[in-house]
């Protein structure tokens, strides 16, 4: 295979027309030949900027060098030292703004396709039956991890490698957090990928207890006092969905993206034989421009709906990953940009029949540095639709903060934790991920889980 050193080896994808009607994975990944060809493009820099761009500091040139030699097991071992979820990260990380964003190749051409190579290594290792290994001696110290999403799994995996006795408590009936309830099958296959990554974390000795809502079923104080946990990591995720508080939001057919995605992903409502219902709309308006909005829109599309994304700023400000926006467009999702809803209308039976929106224009930059959208007076217009999905982010869930004495929260009600080691205001209690930052990305949560594992190890070693 000849390699154009300036360009990425293209990755095979399902045809947009075909995939718009199924829930199979969109990206098909590299095969051996493609991966080894792409690996040739890595310059193996002495001072690798890509590693600095990675929130969990994977030795990127190190694993790519092994891919080049055809040593997948070796490459997997290198990645495993830094990441417990490579098959996930290879799929959902925003590489363009992290590792690949820093790649020297990217200065004059295209960056090395690090994400796709990571995915290739993780997928191939799984097919070969390679499992991560634990070498550390058992420490006989119990650590509780709250939440089995990316932050929790990473923290638990790292602590288990250090020899700690780790139990993850998960509120839902299935482990995985946002990887299971939030990110759709077509972006992250559940049985083939997520389930296997969680099995790998279990293989390190981590126990997972599902159906436990911390703050309700048991409190953090009780875990430490009565159940012998010497440290606790809170990785409980983002929380309650936000709504716009506009007229008509209670109409039937208005959903939060969380509800819509949970029904489809966790409860498998996209399958015809699922016991959990989901609305199969004719025309859906998704409000918001983040990755979650793209996921909800592309799910609605696959369930047979025409889909419009309504976002108040312009394309440039869309918070979603470029790749997700591109995929959504290819599949036929219509973007109504610089548009904001003002009222949802219901028919005489209470079902959504349309939404009134107003055109926006961009003004001066606001606190976030983005130009703030301003309504254009008199520009209201009507979009007929039978479903509206609100994807406006989340506000923190108070279940843990309100039941844990001495746990400081900030003005936005997020848990206050030291970025370097996850330490909270309460001794022995650490936190990271969306519970601390508000809704962010899988890899940032993993980075926080990783930092907290180190913090917990230092704390317990100092006792």
Partner 1 sequence: MFKILKKEVLAPNIYLMDVEAPRVAKNALPGQFLIVRVDDEGERIPLTICDYDSEQGIVQIVFQAIGADTRRMAKLQEGDCFQDVVGPLGRPSDLTELPLDELKKMKICFIAGGVGTAPVYCQLKWLKKNGVDVDCIQGARTKDIIILEDEMKAVSNLHICTDDGSYGIKGNVCVALQQLIDEGREFDRVVAIGPMIMMKFVCQLTEKLGIETIVSMNPIMVDGTGMCGACRLMVGDEVKFACVDGPEFDGHKVDFDQAMQRMRLYKSEEGRLLLKEQEGETHEGGCGNC
Q: Which residues bind partner 1 (CB under 8 A)?
A: 171-173, 181, 210-213, 216-218, 237, 239-241, 243, 245, 249-250, 252, 255-256, 258-259, 262-263, 266-267, 274-277, 279, 350, 397-399
Nearer to partner 1, 299 or 397 (CB): 397
Nearer to partner 1, 90 or 239 (CB): 239
Shortest Cβ distance from residue 373 to partner 1 (Å)? 23
Contact status, residue 223 vs residue 404, Cβ threshold 8 Å:
no
Nearer to partner 1, 15 or 272 (CB): 272
140: left (phi over 0), alpha (psi -120 to 50) or beta: left
Contact status, residue 176 vs residue 149, Cβ threshold 8 Å:
yes
Shortest Cβ distance from residue 239 to partner 1 (Å)? 6
Nearer to partner 1, 347 or 380 (CB): 347
Say how far apart CA 228 and CA 208 lie, in whole Å. Answer: 16
Nearer to partner 1, 95 or 401 (CB): 401
DSSP state of 404: S
Half-sphere exposure of 115 (CA within 13 A, CB side): 24
Shortest Cβ distance from residue 359 to partner 1 (Å)? 27
The burial class, CB within 10 Å (0-12 / 13-18 / 19+), for 74 is middle
As beta bridge partners, residue 122 has: none
From residue 46, give the alpha-carbon distance in Å to each of 5, 58, 108, 333: 19, 15, 19, 43
Shortest Cβ distance from residue 394 to partner 1 (Å)? 8
Say how far apart CA 305 and CA 285 lie, in whole Å. Answer: 10
Shortest Cβ distance from residue 272 to partner 1 (Å)? 9
Helix ranges restricted to H, 137-275: 150-161, 178-181, 195-203, 220-225, 257-261
Shortest Cβ distance from residue 211 to partner 1 (Å)? 4
Kindly report the length of the chain: 463
CA 399 to chain centre: 22
Nearer to partner 1, 63 or 181 (CB): 181
Residue 193's closest CA among 141, 153, 224, 133? Answer: 153
Residue 430's closest CA among 234, 277, 206? Answer: 234
Shortest Cβ distance from residue 278 to partner 1 (Å)? 8
Say how far apart CA 243 and CA 7 lie, in whole Å. Answer: 43
Nearer to partner 1, 23 or 255 (CB): 255
Nearer to partner 1, 53 or 237 (CB): 237
**Helices 195-203 + 150-161 axis angle, to 10:** 30
Angle, CA 177 vertex, CA 173 and CA 182 arms, to 5°:
105
Shortest Cβ distance from residue 190 to partner 1 (Å)? 13
Shortest Cβ distance from residue 100 to partner 1 (Å)? 32
Shortest Cβ distance from residue 415 to partner 1 (Å)? 15
From residue 449, give the alpha-carbon distance in Å to each of 17, 109, 219: 39, 34, 21
Say how far apart CA 73 and CA 76 lie, in whole Å. Answer: 5
Nearer to partner 1, 97 or 210 (CB): 210
End-to-end CA distance of the chain: 57
Shortest Cβ distance from residue 137 to partner 1 (Å)? 31
Say how far apart CA 415 and CA 438 lie, in whole Å. Answer: 9
Nearer to partner 1, 392 or 407 (CB): 392
Residue 416's closest CA among 441, 398, 436, 397? Answer: 436
Nearer to partner 1, 244 or 307 (CB): 244
Shortest Cβ distance from residue 260 to partner 1 (Å)? 9
The two beta strands, 394-395 and 240-241, are antiparallel
Nearer to partner 1, 153 or 244 (CB): 244
Say how far apart CA 295 and CA 187 lie, in whole Å. Answer: 9
């Amino acid at each position: 295979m000849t390699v154009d050193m300036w360009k990425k080896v293209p990755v095979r994808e399902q045809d947009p027309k075909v995939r718009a009607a199924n829930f199979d994975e969109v990206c098909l990944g590299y095969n051996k030949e493609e991966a080894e060809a792409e690996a040739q493009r890595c310059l193996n820099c002495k001072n690798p900027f890509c590693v600095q761009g990675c929130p969990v500091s994977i030795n990127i040139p190190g694993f790519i060098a092994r891919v080049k030699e055809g040593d997948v097991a070796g490459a997997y071992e290198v990645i495993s030292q830094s990441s417990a979820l490579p098959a996930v990260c290879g799929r959902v990380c925003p590489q363009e703004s992290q590792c690949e964003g820093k790649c020297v190749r990217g200065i004059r051409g295209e960056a090395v396709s690090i994400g796709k190579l990571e995915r290739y290594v993780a997928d191939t290792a799984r097919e070969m039956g390679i499992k991560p290994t634990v070498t550390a001696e058992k420490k006989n110290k119990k650590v509780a991890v709250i939440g089995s999403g990316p932050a929790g799994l990473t923290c638990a995996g790292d602590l288990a490698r250090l020899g700690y006795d780790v139990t993850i408590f998960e509120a839902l009936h299935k482990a995985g957090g946002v990887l299971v309830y939030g990110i759709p099958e077509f972006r992250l296959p559940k049985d083939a990928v997520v389930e296997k990554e969680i099995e790998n974390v279990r293989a390190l000795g981590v126990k997972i207890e599902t159906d436990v809502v911390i703050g309700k079923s048991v409190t953090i104080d009780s875990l430490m006092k009565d159940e012998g946990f010497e440290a606790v990591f809170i990785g409980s995720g983002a929380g309650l969905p936000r709504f716009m508080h506009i007229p008509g939001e209670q109409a039937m057919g208005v959903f939060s993206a969380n509800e819509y995605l949970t029904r489809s992903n966790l409860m498998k409502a996209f399958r015809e034989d699922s016991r959990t219902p989901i609305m199969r709309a004719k025309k859906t308006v998704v409000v918001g421009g983040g990755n979650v909005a793209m996921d909800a829109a592309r799910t609605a599309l696959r369930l047979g709906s025409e889909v419009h994304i309504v976002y108040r700023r312009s394309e440039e400000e869309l918070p979603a990953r470029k790749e997700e926006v591109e995929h959504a467009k290819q599949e036929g999702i219509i973007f109504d940009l610089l548009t904001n809803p003002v009222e949802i209308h219901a028919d005489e039976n209470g079902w959504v029949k349309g939404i009134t929106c107003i055109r926006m224009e961009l003004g001066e930059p606001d606190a976030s540095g983005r130009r703030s959208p301003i309504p254009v007076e008199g520009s209201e217009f009507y979009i007929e639709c039978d479903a509206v999905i609100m994807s406006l982010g989340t506000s923190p869930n108070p279940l843990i903060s309100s039941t844990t004495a001495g746990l400081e929260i900030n003005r936005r009600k997020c848990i206050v934790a030291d970025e370097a080691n996850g330490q909270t205001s309460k001794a022995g209690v650490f936190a990271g991920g969306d519970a601390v930052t508000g809704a962010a990305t899988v890899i940032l949560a993993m980075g926080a889980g990783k930092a907290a594992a180190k913090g917990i190890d230092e704390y317990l070693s100092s006792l």
